[in-house]
Structures are given as C-alpha cells and as structure tokens.
Amino acid sequence: MSKIRVLADHVANQIAAGEVVERPASVAKELVENSIDAGATRITIEIEAGGRRLLKVSDDGEGMVRDDAILAFERHATSKIRETDDLDAIGTLGFRGEALASIASVAKVELTTCIEGAGAATRVAIDGGRMRDVKDAAHPRGTTIAVRDLFFNIPARRKFLRSEATETYHLTNLVTHYALAHPEIAFTFVNNGREVVRTAPAKDLRERAYQIFGEEFLKNLLEVDGGETGVARVSGFVSAPRDRRTSRDSQYLFVNRRFVRDRMIGRALSEAYRSILPYGVYPAALLFIETPLEEVDVNVHPAKTEVRFRRQAAVADAVREAVRAALASASYVSPPEPPTMIATAAVSSIAPQPRIEFVPPPPAPPPVPRPPVEPSGDEIARDLEIMLRSASRSVQSASLPPLNSAEKIAREVTPETISTNIRPLGQLDESFIIATDDQGLLLIDQHVAHERILFDKYRALEAERRTDAQQMLVPETFDLTPAQTAVFDDLLPELEKYGFELMRLSGRTVAIRAVPADLPGSEARNMLFELLETVDAEKKSAAPETMRDEIAASLACHAAIKVNMPLAPEKMRWLIDRLLQTSSPTTCPHGRPVILRLSTRDILKGFHRI
Ligand code: ADP
Ligand code: MG
C-alpha cells in the first residue's frame, strides 16, 4: 500500500505558518508590510493582550475588490509578482503570497476592504483557514485586518508565546522599525485601548528619529552618507565611540527599506569601529542601504528578514567605508589610508540620493513626538519607556570603567574639545598625568595614552611593511593548547608582519626568537597567550585589517607603560606630544577615554566665584 499523500491545504498552510508566524509581532510585520505595499499614508496598529487576543492593522491604501479580498487568503496568491523573472527585482516588501493564508490558518481573521469609488466595502471572515462569511460592509478606502485569538487551534504554539509584556515589546520594536524606514507614513500604535505611539508624517529620517527617540538620542549620533550608486548607497546615523552597547539591539539595519538582520552588515559596521571600539561592544546604528533591486535577493528567508547580496564584499566595503568616513569626519579616526583612497574618491563624488534626505535638525522641535507614558504600571508603557530610554543610554561592558561616573566633575575630552597646548604638571598616583590646557585641568591616563601611541606606530610599521624587531637573547618557549594550534597557524603570518619570529618546535611547543620593538621580552609570552585566547572563530573570519588591528592593540597594551609607574617630566612631555600626533588622541584602541578635563568654569563654579 502506498504511504505518501499530498497534504490538505489547511495542513500545508499551518506548516507554512510555522515559518512565517512565529509570534504576534511577525503577524504585525506581514500586515504592516502589506499596508505599505498598498501605498498607505496612514497605518494604525492596535493590540490587546500582547497581540494574542487582538491584533488589528488598518490602512488607507488602495484596498481590494471583493474577488481579490477572497483570493488574498489562498496560498501563493499575490498581486506583486507573476513570473519567476520577477523574483530578480522585487520592489515590494511582500511577494510570496503566503502571509495571509498562513495567518488565517492559525487565527480568526476578519478583513474589511474598500477600493476608491466602490459602492460598498467587502468583509471576509476566516477562522482557522475556513471561510466563514463574505458580505458587504462600510469602510473608507483602505483595508482593516483584525486577527483574533492567535494560535487558537494550535495549543502547542500558543504555549510558546511569552508574557504579554514580552510580546508587546516585540510589537513595539517592530512598529519602531517600520516607522523609521518610512518617515512619510503616519504610524499610530494603540495598546489595550491606549495610544502609545503617534507619529505625524515626517519629512526625513532625522525628523522621524526625533519623533521616536527624542532629541537626546540624535544629539550623539554621527551622520552617515556614503557608498556607491550601483553597488550600495549607505546613509543614516551611527553612534560616537563613547556610546557603547553590549548587544546589537540598537542596530537598525534596512536594505531597500526592508528591515533585516544581517550579520554581514553588522560585521562591516563593527569593522568600521575597529581600533576605537573593543570586540563585544557595539555601536548603535540606523543604517539604510539602498541597492539596485537586482543586486539583492530577498527570497532567502520565509520571514524575509535576511537578504543575500550579489556582490556581498562590495556591499560590506561600502558600509564599512561610509561609516568610517562618518567617524573620520568627526575626527574619531584618521581619514582612510592610501589603499582605500579609490573607494573614498568614488564615495565623495556621488551626489546624495534623493530618497532619504538629511537636513540639519529643525530649529524648533516638531510637536507631540513623545508617546504619552503613564507611570500607572501599564506594562507596555513601561516597556516602551525602557526601550526608548535604552536607545539613548550607553551600556558599558563589564571591563570598561563606568562611562558617566566622573562626568559630573571631569568630562571626557573629545576630538572636538582637545587642545594642542597641553602642559604637564605632575602625576597622580603614579598613574595619571596631571596637566593643564586653555580650558582647564586635565588628567591623562598614562597607560592608555601610550597604548594609543604604540598602536598607531605598530599599525604604521605594518602598513609600510617595515618591521622593527629585537632578537631575544635566550628564546622563550611556550606550549599551545590543542585549540590554540589552529588559531596559531592562522595568526603566524600576521604576527610575523609585526616583527615576531616564532618557531614551532616539536608538537605544540613554540619558541619566541624575536619580538616587535618596544615589547618587553617578558611580556611576549603573555601577549601571545592572550591573543590566542581572544581570537575566536568569529574574529578569525573577520577582515585581515580587523585581525591586524587586534594584534596591534594587544601589542600596544603589553608594551605600554603601566600604571603605578613614576614618570620623569621629560617622559610626560614626550607622551603628550606623541599622543597629539596620533590618529585618535582621545580614545585608546579599546575604546576607552584617554583624557578627562575639569573645566576652569567648573572650578570657578565650585569655588562660588561665578
Ligand atoms: P504578498 O504580500 O506576498 O503578496 P499576502 O498573503 O501578504 O502576500 O497578501 C496577498 C495579497 O493580498 C497581496 O498581494 C495584495 O494584493 C493583497 N493585500 C494584502 N493586504 C493588503 C492591504 N492591506 N491592502 C491592499 N491589498 C492587500
Ligand atoms: Mg504580504
């Protein structure tokens, strides 16, 4: 007897729903995308009980005629593509034609829709994939879809839903994403009858970001505008290096206005911060990548949150260079080195693309941007508050000193506020140089200052292919762990570029015969060990540039003068002069501040003189 049978449609739809409908936020995503594809200028999202009980999306888009409203719920029913060839250049957010079918198979759905000039609207009701009712209704031009009792017919899936607060958080996040990607659309988000987000149509991303995150968030961002037409235009905002997050949660990445989670773009972004942010610490970003439609395959993932670029490496370069240029224009890094000049020239010769425009912030803030938040304990309000606040708050990784601890009295000196006229006075705790400049009293961390100097020196030597090595009188040896051997073999050629001479003796024993200049022989073993420990799989696959930075940073750290070390006045002078000549005198290669300033003004204030 044969054993194979073709699954009934409703079973197939439920299986497809497993991929498309993960949680209420994924339903909202599909519905909002449909509204955007329908040309809506106004989208309202209403939820109850974290979207489980009700999730309703209304728009003023083009609507559907009755036949379409019924057909829309069939699997593979779409108005957006016709032929396979259409997949090569997808200009709409949807195209798979399975979202409505999937959603309707796992919930109770009511769709009401009306096209311009039609006598009556159509209402279609479907429960768990079964059509219940089709009738006339009243509705202005546009579409409203109400999804009730998600997973009512699949208890197993319902159990996987998280708390109302969590689901609401995901929904809020989703609305935020789409609102950012589409400033021209007015978004309203209502939770349990209360309006939590209402944004008027905005003229550009900056205004929309202002509406959503507020002024504080924008103030600290650097504008990105670069890339190359034909490959990838890159625009948006990134955070300054002093703003640090411990996860990628504050990175909003969009490809042709589609919100994506893309590791490649995330990595390119991190590489732009190489040498100013340590690994494991992430910048915040709102990055919009615009590519020609045929350059990107969006049909990779059922939920369409991943994309594949035809010229992956070129896109990564564009992102990295555009972000790097933004950092360079704020003097956080030096402008790109000669080998990348070609890319930069191409970038700067391109006129900004009209689709996303950035203008200076409006003199008077646009009205009503902040969502009304009541302290009454309503979970969504709290959630949203937390989310919006975390967007503008820096989170420090455990190894970094608390960012704001000294801020009230002494502030981090930034590239904009550094002065070239620094005069050392002495040392505090044999660890910090006390100095003055035109604006006040300075504290310079001697270790990180020297780290920055050495880092730049090692990188320059390596780039010029000059090594400056010192032979060890007695070669030191050390043993690799099995896991380290593979990493070691990969690292060896890079280490040699810096002047290391390392020899694998028998088995896993390594002899250190020469080390880069400035690195005390006694530190070589520690440094190599640490490096081998920290270079994990992700970093191994990172760009060679990043790898080289990692080595230079590690070398600099081990070769730099330590804290608790007395310095002669000449040595302090030398440190300061050299520091000022580096690419980034205000941040060390690991992203820490180098100089703190107590301003004369604050001193005067402290003594009640002003
Ligand atoms: P897809 O978006 O991939 O085409 P869906 O299942 O999401 O598939 O939607 C099926 C079709 O229903 C769409 O192609 C579109 O024609 C129509 N549709 C869905 N939502 C709306 C809406 N809000 N306004 C107008 N038409 C819509
Ligand atoms: Mg769709």
In tens, the pLDDT along 195-251 reads 888 899 999 888 988 888 777 777 778 999 999 888 899 999 998 887 777 777 778
Distance, CA 304 to ligand 2 centroid (Å)?
10
Q: In ligand 1, which atom is closest to the CA atom of 93?
A: 2
Cα torsion 274, 275, 277, 281 to 10°: value is 60
Distance, CA 261 to ligand 1 centroid (Å)?
23
For tokens 């790109």, the residue is 336
Q: Is the pLDDT of residue 524 over 50?
A: yes
Q: Which of 34, 109, 139, 145 to mutate to test the pocket of ligand 1 (most atoms within 8 A of CB)?
A: 34
Predicted confidence at residue 144, as pLDDT, reads: 98
**pLDDT bucket at 337, cuts 50 / 70 / 90:** low
Ligand 1, atom 27: nearest CA belongs to which residue? 34
Ligand 1, atom 14: nearest CA belongs to which residue? 78
Query: Which residues, chain by chain, have CB under 5 Å from ion ligand 2?
Result: 34, 94, 99
**Angle, nearest 10°, between helix axes 521-534 and 544-559?**
140
Q: How large a percentage of the chain has pLDDT more than 70? A: 86
**Alpha helices (H) in 242-281, listed in sequence order:** 263-272
- Assigned token pair, 176: 């935020």
Q: Which of 60, 100, 185 to mutate to test the pocket of ligand 1 (most atoms within 8 A of CB)?
A: 100
Predicted confidence at residue 35, as pLDDT, reads: 97
Which ligand minimizes its atom distance to the CA of 90? 1
* Average model confidence (pLDDT) across the chain: 82
Q: In ligand 1, which atom is closest to the CA atom of 77?
A: 10
Q: How large a percentage of the chain has pLDDT more than 90? A: 38
Predicted confidence at residue 336, as pLDDT, reads: 63
Q: In ligand 1, which atom is closest to the CA atom of 34?
A: 20
For tokens 């003189």, the residue is 609
- Beta-bridge partner residues of 187: 43, 199
Q: Which of 35, 55, 60, 78 to mutate to test the pocket of ligand 1 (most atoms within 8 A of CB)?
A: 78
Min mean pLDDT across 35-44, 261-270, 318-327 is at 261-270
Distance, CA 35 to ligand 1 centroid (Å)?
8
Mean pLDDT of 355-364: 37
Q: Which of 31, 36, 37, 60 to mutate to test the pocket of ligand 1 (most atoms within 8 A of CB)?
A: 37
Q: In ligand 1, which atom is closest to the CA atom of 57?
A: 23
Q: Is the pLDDT of residue 54 over 80?
A: yes
Ligand 1, atom 17: nearest CA belongs to which residue? 72
Predicted confidence at residue 385, as pLDDT, reads: 47
C-alpha span between 295 and 38 (Å, rounded): 24
C-alpha span between 433 and 575 (Å, rounded): 10
C-alpha span between 441 and 96 (Å, rounded): 63
Q: Is the pLDDT of residue 43 over 80?
A: yes
Distance, CA 188 to ligand 2 centroid (Å)?
20
C-alpha span between 188 and 534 (Å, rounded): 46
Which ligand minimizes its atom distance to the CA of 76? 1
Distance, CA 137 to ligand 1 centroid (Å)?
19
Q: In ligand 1, which atom is closest to the CA atom of 101?
A: 6
Ligand 1, atom 19: nearest CA belongs to which residue? 34
Top mean pLDDT of 12-26, 440-454, 542-556 is at 440-454
Top mean pLDDT of 65-74, 342-351, 379-388 is at 65-74
Distance, CA 269 to ligand 1 centroid (Å)?
34
**pLDDT bucket at 395, cuts 50 / 70 / 90:** very low
Distance, CA 53 to ligand 2 centroid (Å)?
22
Predicted confidence at residue 536, as pLDDT, reads: 59
Predicted confidence at residue 462, as pLDDT, reads: 86
C-alpha span between 211 and 209 (Å, rounded): 5
Distance, CA 92 to ligand 2 centroid (Å)?
9
Which ligand minimizes its atom distance to the CA of 38? 1
C-alpha span between 53 and 47 (Å, rounded): 8
For tokens 């896991």, the residue is 483
Predicted confidence at residue 391, as pLDDT, reads: 45
Best CA proximity match to 387, nearest among 257, 249, 281: 249
CA-based Rg of the chain, rounded to a whole angstrom? 29
Q: Are 226 and 318 in contact (CB under 8 A)?
A: yes
- Beta-bridge partner residues of 470: 515
Q: Are 266 and 253 in contact (CB under 8 A)?
A: yes
Mean pLDDT of 65-92: 86
Spatial strand order in the sheet of 411-412: 411-412, 595-599, 440-445, 432-437, 423-428
Predicted confidence at residue 393, as pLDDT, reads: 37
C-alpha span between 287 and 44 (Å, rounded): 25
- Assigned token pair, 392: 């503008």
Distance, CA 297 to ligand 1 centroid (Å)?
20
Distance, CA 32 to ligand 2 centroid (Å)?
8
C-alpha span between 442 and 413 (Å, rounded): 9
Where does ligand 1 bind, in terms of residues with CB under 6 Å? 30, 34-35, 38, 59, 61-64, 72, 77-80, 94-100, 143
Q: What is the DSSP string of 504-563?
A: E-STTEEEEEEEETTS-HHHHHHHHHHHHHH--HHHHTS-HHHHHHHHHHHHHHHHSPPS
